[in-house]
Amino acid sequence: MIMRKNKKITRTRMIFARNLRKFRTIRKLSQEDLAELADLHRTYIGSVERGERNISIDNMERLAKALGLRVLDLVREEPE
């Protein structure tokens, strides 16, 4: 667990958040672009990328699909 803004953020949330931002920027998509592709709200994407949301498995899949990835790719921790 990592503390951030007084909220506990689990390890998997942080990995997901980091990967989401990484792949979104690699694809040169804004948060708004990705929101449109995934049919989610732009502010929701922002909060997921900050690890603030306890995102559901269905929304994880929507975001992965919008990026042409599998959920697997978004929860994979990379060697630093």
With residue 47 as reference, give the H or E element that holds it: helix 42-49
Total residue count of the chain as it appears in this document:
80
Query: Taking CB under 8 A as the criterion, which residues in 4-43 touch a second copy?
Result: 10-13, 16
For the CB of residue 35, give the shortest distance to a second copy in the complex, in Å.
19
CA distance 74 to 15: 7
Among 4, 41, 68, 77, binds a second copy (CB under 8 A): 77
* Binding status of residue 3 toward a second copy by CB under 8 A: no
CA distance 55 to 27: 22
Interface ranges with a second copy (CB under 8 A): 10-13, 16, 54-58, 60-61, 64, 70-72, 75-77
